[in-house]
Amino acid sequence: MITSKQRAYLRSMAMSMPAIMQIGKGGINENMLKTFSDALEARELIKLHVLENSGEDPKQLVNALAEELGAEAVSAVGRKIVLYRASEKKPTIELPRA
């Protein structure tokens, strides 16, 4: 579990990042979960864009994805969601102490 200070730090990092993937009308499937998991392992912090036609609520989706991927839900602002999970092999993001 990350603290609010760490969450704010991750949010500030994600501000300048582009969304690397989109969630469309097909919703979430096993292949997408695998892709998201691989991206989290490689980058640790990812931003996703939830398209209007997906029918998903980004605020609920970010929590569901975080639980499914074993990640932390950083933010859900508008149609963008941000997830964080420390890399098991090569961590690069150093979070501020609580």
Per-residue pLDDT reduced to its tens digit, 26-46: 888 999 999 999 999 999 999
pTM above 0.75, yes or no: yes
Residue 47 pLDDT class (50, 70, 90 cuts): very high
Mean predicted lDDT score pLDDT of the chain: 93
44-66 CB burial, b ≥16 within 10 A, e <16? bbbbbbbeeebebebeebbeebb
Dihedral through CA 54, CA 60, CA 64, CA 69, nearest 10? Answer: 80
**Smallest Cα–Cα separation from 89: which of 45, 39, 43, 41?**
41
Domains located in the chain, CATH noted: 4-84 (3.30.110.60)
The token pair that represents 85 in the structure block = 């999970």
How far apart are the C-alpha atoms of 84 and 72, rounded to whole Å?
A: 5
CB 67 within 8 A of CB 39: no
Distance CA 62, CA 50 (A): 10
